[in-house]
Homo-oligomer: A and B are copies of this chain.
């Protein structure tokens, strides 16, 4: 068989044979894996943490990949300059009854390169035979004709969250178009560059392009699949808002010997203030924290009951002897608002530690919200709690006068937040999507009423009047948001096959 002939047996056909006729897991041809690996590696080598020129390079890369689809491409910008734009593309199908918009984001969380493992840098993608901390070794890419199979990982910021999502959607489209296939619906693609910063300008751009972006349903390619490795559909997300609390000690660092016991220490104040907020099993003690939570519907409860029971295995793989809560399941705990400490900082520890009373201490908090919560109301509860502990709450570093007026001062600042979103599973669209995803895989699909992660879907739902569902593809251990982010390449290959079927059937 000639090489050209082998290539002509397209991924599409293989998928159909595998998934429908023989019930084998669909696979992406090896030549295609090599081509996509090189493209994805180049994509991941472009920094994506917000620097405007770099974000534009990402945009150029995405529009370059989209050109092969022949779709109409537009770059949608905020009125303010230097904001990472949205990349939009559309494909109109004559006679289609539905318009489905596929969304992913190309920006990544901030990086602290020093925290990454030796030999792994955020924007110099490297290939490992398995996770580096589980015996994986740095490796050259497989020779031509050999698959990128098994547990192979590409390490880079954004690899899992969410350049894999961008790549999956574009490649699924490219395959359809190349083969002259017709999707079942009109297809629109939208790639955002500010998701990790709270989608600050998304609402503005949606508003300004309401007709262009009009759709019936949105499918989001973001987040990791279930820890069991099974394909997943999630019908909702938690909301989110970031808050920082800073407490104050003396106006200059003091010698801990000459002043210790006499001058108040801001680290002790922060510790004592935070300790009033949460008990040892993780229950938040702030007044009314849970009162507005909407519980699961009977339908959602039924879906939850079918989720694989593998929490103990997951906990053990994470080195955890015990998880939080008072016996609730993980999914039940994720349907509660959280108060997470993202980071603590006061002066230094380790070799840089000095015998001082620091001047300030800061906690970075992450408030996840569930259906019923409102992000501004949740912050208000937190502020009221801090005030109830005797603190003067301000949004700026205290002035010299304020310092002398108040014994306890807390600066509380916050970003722009958004509320949780949930799509009913009973909708025809929801039921059809479950069937389409199941058609692209031999594994049983895990259906969740919602994931613990956050996306600004509520803003989109309200503004655009659409149904939104998430079909993630990344591995659960992709270290997203952390150092050593990686993508299991098999997840990308499987994800592309999955999305191909969704586009063809839905």
Task: Give A contacts to B, CB under 8 Å.
Answer: 109-110, 112, 133, 223-224, 237-238, 240, 242, 244, 248-265, 267-268, 270-272, 274-275, 278, 280, 282, 315-316, 318-325, 330, 333-334, 336, 338, 340-358, 361-364, 366, 368, 398, 400, 403-407, 451-454, 476-477, 479-484
Residues B252 and A133 in contact, CB atoms below 8 Å apart: yes
A454-B480 Cα distance, complex, nearest whole Å = 46
Residues B110 and A353 in contact, CB atoms below 8 Å apart: yes
A-B contact pairs, 6 of them (CB 8 A): A133-B251, A253-B483, A255-B482, A270-B344, A343-B346, A345-B348
Q: How many copies does the complex hold?
A: 2
**Chain B CB within 10 Å — which of A356, A452, A453 has the most?**
A356
What is the distance, in angstroms, from A157's C-beta to the closest C-beta of chain B? 11
A260-B263 Cα distance, complex, nearest whole Å = 35
Known contacts A253-B482, A349-B244, A454-B257; A322 and B355 CB within 8 A of each other: no
Contacts of A407 in B (CB 8 A): 321-322
- Which residue from chain B places its CB closest to the CB of A227 in the assembled complex? B258
Residues A323 and B354 in contact, CB atoms below 8 Å apart: no
Residues B355 and A366 in contact, CB atoms below 8 Å apart: yes
Q: Which of B248, B398, B453 contacts A257 (CB 8 A)?
A: B453
- Which residue from chain B places its CB closest to the CB of A335 in the assembled complex? B261
Residues A481 and B341 in contact, CB atoms below 8 Å apart: no
A480-B351 Cα distance, complex, nearest whole Å = 17
What is the distance, in angstroms, from A263's C-beta to the closest C-beta of chain B? 6
Contacts of A476 in B (CB 8 A): 258
A259-B483 Cα distance, complex, nearest whole Å = 16
18 additional contacts (CB under 8 A) given A264-B282, A272-B275: A109-B354, A110-B354, A242-B355, A251-B318, A255-B453, A261-B324, A261-B336, A261-B452, A262-B324, A265-B340, A275-B275, A321-B403, A321-B407, A342-B347, A342-B355, A345-B345, A350-B362, A356-B481
- Which residue from chain B places its CB closest to the CB of A353 in the assembled complex? B364
A192-B318 Cα distance, complex, nearest whole Å = 47
